[in-house]
Structure 1
Amino acid sequence: MNNLSSLSSVGVIVLMTFLLTFFLVSLYAKRLNNAISLLVEYSQRVAAEGYKVPPVKFSRLVPNEFSFLARHFFLMAKQLKDHQQALLELNSELEQRVAERTKSLSRNNQELAILNRLITPITPSLGIAGVIEGCLSQFLEVANVKVQLHLANPTISSLGSYEDVHSRDGVADIVQTDHSYYLLPIRAGNTTVGHLVVANSTLSEADQQFLQTLSHSVGIILQNELLLRSIQQKHAVLKAVLESMCDAIILIDNRQEVVYANCRMARMLDFPCEKLRGSSEDFLFEIVSQMLLDSSPEVLKQIRQENGLYKLKIKQKNNQERFKLLSAFPVTDDEGNIIGKGYLWRDITKEHEVDKLKNDLISLVSHEFKTPITSIKGSVETLLRQDAEWDENFKREMLIGIHEDIGRIQELVNDWLDFSKIDSRAISLNREPIRPCVVVDNAIRQLPKHFGNGTIIDNNVCQDMPLIYADRMRLEQVLSNLLTNAIRYNDRTPHITISADSDERYVNIRVADNGIGINDKHLDKVFDRFYCIDAGWVRRTGGTGLGLAICKGIMEAHGGTIRAESTEGVGSVFTVSIPKYKYTGDKHEKA
């Protein structure tokens, strides 16, 4: 019984102890929970209002750690606020630095764009002055500073139109009258070619540095432009000289490639000029070898290996044979270094033909002089024989023959004298107004009597033709020569038709015949000096072969022309054009 009672007492005590402990723990937990809530609320206020909120005070029943935590939290919030303000100030400073740097980079980019515009290849539409004008306009937009360009050399001023280009005297006047101007020299090499003038003495250091760079760049550009124009001018002059040469020229570099060939060379080879340039020397001589006549491959090999003069005979695309004098020479630079080889082709066909014709003509003239002189000598020796008595009729016949031979010699001498006067342009004319029909009639009457045997001459020149202004004797000489040739160079009975017409400036007299005619390849040369179509015909018919050359010289001295049309085996037509007489009222017409 006692034991049960004891257990009950213990149980009551334990229960009461548990209830008390639970009550005390609940009370402490409630206070602790309130402290935590208060600490959370404080932290929210600190986060919202900053470190200005004073630290919270806890009751004595709350552990000291909460007060310690609140104080440190307050200090931490204050430090965070201070650091935040420092970060904001630092960020503002960085933003300002970035803005300044961005502005500086933008300025540098703009300055580089200005300089890049200078060094960019200049278009022909703008020119150097237009480019500089654009650069200075850009600088005005960038720095709000107006810059004027003053050039000292008129040659430089002529590089283009520029509204702010002034002379050196203008710069001197500005500097002397107003010292607030900022002056920057522009130098091309060691020469001052101009100035950049700024009407602002308070330029920033950056502006001054950029303007110095700009002045140096402008000087370089101007120097390069002057050098380029000088080279282009020299190149244009050299090209014009080479292209206008009568000779063909081609230049080979040390790589055996064609670096230049003028148009005459391309025409000679019948090969496009643009394709010829850049081709190899082997290809060039392959074309030449196909054109050569009477030359061995060793000659071409010698030409390529040795410098000198070579006479070659070639055949061109129209099957014409031409003689060329080839000059092979080394090409050197200013320092004397050999940079290639040149070939100059000179057409000496005319000189070759003239030399040949001179030889033929000398032989012909010697023969023409020898025949009458031999005849005269024989006749005189016969008449001077003392052991014979000659009949008077025989003597007269011999004297007539001597007279004819002397006339023949005189004709030769006169032809040579006339040709000499024409060649030296010393022929004199006694010009007067005359009727064409009178000149034609006189020329017909002057023909030798033996030429008239069987010759048919139709004179269709009317008397109402306009007057011509000419030397009567010289014009009769021309027509007489044409009539004589029409009779001499004829295998049939000569039939000559003479006609005339007029235009605004000339009276045209035509002499048509039924002679042997002239081949087309000779037609454009019949008026050349020393040119004979067939020396055999000249020897057979007589004459010097200078007649048509003399006729051409006489007509050119009159300001007229003579031309030929012919068909081989059919006949020829020679047309003489003489200037018409312009009546001024101070001279009488002569009929």
Structure 2
Amino acid sequence: MRKFRFRFLNSLFILLFFVFIALIVIIGNLFESFVFKGSSENTLQTMWSTLVVTFLIGFLFTVYMSSRVSTQLTRPLEGALKVANELANGNFKARTYEYQMDETGQLSHALNILARNLQNMTSSYEMQQNRLMTLIENMDSGLILIDAKGYINLVNKHFKETFEVEADQWLNKVYHEAIPFTELSSIIEETFMIEKTVRKQISLPIGIEIKHFDVSGAPILVNGDKLTGVVFVFHDISEIKKLEQMRKDFVANVSHELKTPVTSLKGFAETLLDGAMENKAFREHFLKIILEESDRLQSLIQDLLDLSKLEQAHFSLDWQKVDVCQLAENSILIMKKRADEKNITIDFSSDENAVISADANRLKQVFLNLISNSINYTPPGGKIRITVTKQGETVKFKIADTGIGIDKEELPRIFERFYRVDKARSRNSGGTGLGLAIVKHIIEAHHASIKVESEPGEGTSFIITFLKERK
């Protein structure tokens, strides 16, 4: 705009300059012919000098007024042009000065309104985009967006963390080249082909483990028919699958554990009815086995009931002051007969006044379970060492045996229901496989912690740390 005004004024001033020269010549000749006819050379020279100066002043005044008027006329247009260029470049905060409300003022006002509307629309759009991206990035499911050409446009944070990938590994790449999972590529291809929602459950190897996903794929359609891309949401259902498998295993284990004593009871009862009852030795032997299997069945049912109570949300403990030393001594006395039968020595030492807030009956159940396990897995002639020590605001109970020990890979599973390190030894000893699961629940209910240390062939240690005061 400035260049145009400069060129225009230059042309105008040159034209005016020649017009003024022509006027000076014409008017001077007229004055010389009629007004100053017969005048002296000095008079004529003075007339021409006056005429030139007068017209020069008039020319300069005309130039000044033309520049001033031109500036007043073009300034609003320059401001409007500058704002228009800023808007075109995406700067919607630009504004122009609104002059008097003539045509140029109205143009400036209209441009300012347009700029404000564009700024409001852009701010609203950016806010919605930020909200959407925040939602996508923080959602508890993986999300991947693929355009109509098959290029991956978006991968959210949860997806990257779950699949252990970096953004640049997949972004802006064709899905069947970037995604290493054939099963997942097939689902994406199916969604593109049928242009309908697809939902499937798949298992994929992620790192060193197999993860299970519920995958939902949906086409993105514009105007109801034009496909612009597809979006996929990945729900990690690995924990659900694990719980489902645990439920199946639990039902299978319970069925097996119940079936064994029931089969024995039925078999020996039938044998007695078939004539063995007449033989006193057989009768006493079979009845003794029936009694043992009944006790085992009763023990299993009682453990199942205890475990069920411990897992209930409204389960509560009978909190009271408990002397851990005295409770441990009582538990050892109860189990001493079984230890003597295997010639196992139980050593016990304790700090004085090891008192905590706890449920005495539940704590006794923990000690009996742990001592029983140590006796079961310690060979004849072995030793069990039990200590109770005070450490600041905590009391530690430790039981260490010289038993068969536990392999390192089996340690994380020993608190699972029905899990046995040595299945044959556990069943022969009458164990139900629920003892350590019950121990763990009771310890957690007391806000305590339990740790296991073991070496195969050397023995196992269980260390429980109690708080002296209830949380």
Equivalent residue number for residue 223 of structure 1: 121
SS at match of 2:415: coil
Structure 2: runs of 5 or more not aligned: 1-27, 191-197
Deviations 1:13-46 (CA, angstroms, capped at 9, x unpaired): xxxxxxxxxxxxxxxxxxxxxxxxxxxxxxxxx9
Listed as ranges, the matches of 1:172-191 within 5 Å are none
Listed as ranges, the matches of 1:323-472 within 5 Å are 323-325=211-213, 327=215, 329-333=217-221, 335-336=223-224, 338-345=227-234, 347=236, 349-352=238-241, 354-378=243-267, 380=269, 391=280, 399-447=287-335, 449-452=337-340, 453-465=342-354, 467-472=355-360
Alpha-carbon distance, 1:301 to partner: 6.5
Alpha-carbon distance, 1:228 to partner: 1.7
Alpha-carbon distance, 1:558 to partner: 2.1
Equivalent residue number for residue 99 of structure 1: 68
Alpha-carbon distance, 1:280 to partner: 2.7
SS at match of 2:181: helix
Equivalent residue number for residue 148 of structure 2: 254
Deviations 1:370-406 (CA, angstroms, capped at 9, x unpaired): 3333443455556667895565x87666555443322
2:160 to 256, 266, 289: 266
Cα distance in 1 for residues equivalent to 2:408 and 2:352: 35
Closer/same/farther in 2, CA of residues 368 and 524 from structure 1, 3 Å limit: closer
Closer/same/farther in 2, CA of residues 353 and 463 from structure 1, 3 Å limit: same
Alpha-carbon distance, 1:412 to partner: 0.7
Equivalent residue number for residue 474 of structure 1: 362
Identical counterparts, % of pairs: 24
Equivalent residue number for residue 172 of structure 2: 278
Closer/same/farther in 2, CA of residues 254 and 412 from structure 1, 3 Å limit: same
SS at match of 1:327: strand
Cα distance in 2 for residues equivalent to 1:388 and 1:209: 116
Alpha-carbon distance, 1:436 to partner: 0.9
Alpha-carbon distance, 1:210 to partner: 3.4
Closer/same/farther in 2, CA of residues 534 and 344 from structure 1, 3 Å limit: farther
Contact map agreement 1:418 1:427 (CA 8 A) in 2: no
Q: Give the aligned residue type for 2:120.
A: L
Alpha-carbon distance, 1:434 to partner: 0.5
Equivalent residue number for residue 288 of structure 1: 181
Cα distance in 2 for residues equivalent to 1:459 and 1:400: 34
Q: So what's the TM-score if we normalise by structure 2?
A: 0.73
Equivalent residue number for residue 131 of structure 2: 233
Which structure has the higher relative contact order (CA within 8 Å, separation 6+)? 2
Cα distance in 2 for residues equivalent to 1:414 and 1:468: 27
**Larger deviation, residues 545-554 vs 268-277:** 268-277
Alpha-carbon distance, 1:315 to partner: 6.0
SS at match of 1:271: coil
Alpha-carbon distance, 1:475 to partner: 1.3
Cα distance in 2 for residues equivalent to 1:387 and 1:491: 36
Q: So what's the TM-score if we normalise by structure 1?
A: 0.60
Structure 1: runs of 5 or more not aligned: 1-45, 58-69, 123-127, 144-202, 290-298, 584-591
Contact map agreement 1:50 1:81 (CA 8 A) in 2: no
1:309 to 200, 207, 214: 200
Equivalent residue number for residue 441 of structure 2: 553
Cα distance in 1 for residues equivalent to 2:229 and 2:420: 44
Alpha-carbon distance, 1:472 to partner: 1.1
Contact map agreement 1:566 1:572 (CA 8 A) in 2: yes
Cα distance in 1 for residues equivalent to 2:222 and 2:419: 46
1:544 aligns with 2:442: no
Contact map agreement 2:80 2:107 (CA 8 A) in 1: no
Alpha-carbon distance, 1:218 to partner: 2.0
1:55 to 32, 35, 38: 38
Equivalent residue number for residue 21 of structure 2: none
SS at match of 2:347: strand
Q: Give the aligned residue type for 2:112.
A: L
Q: Give the aligned residue type for 2:123.
A: E
Cα distance in 2 for residues equivalent to 1:574 and 1:531: 17
Alpha-carbon distance, 1:329 to partner: 2.0
Equivalent residue number for residue 510 of structure 1: 398
Cα distance in 2 for residues equivalent to 1:227 and 1:540: 72
Listed as ranges, the matches of 1:111-190 within 5 Å are none
Cα distance in 1 for residues equivalent to 2:336 and 2:172: 66
**Larger deviation, residues 497-506 vs 90-99:** 497-506
Cα distance in 2 for residues equivalent to 1:208 and 1:529: 83
Cα distance in 1 for residues equivalent to 2:86 and 2:389: 71
Closer/same/farther in 2, CA of residues 569 and 273 from structure 1, 3 Å limit: farther
Cα distance in 2 for residues equivalent to 1:249 and 1:538: 48
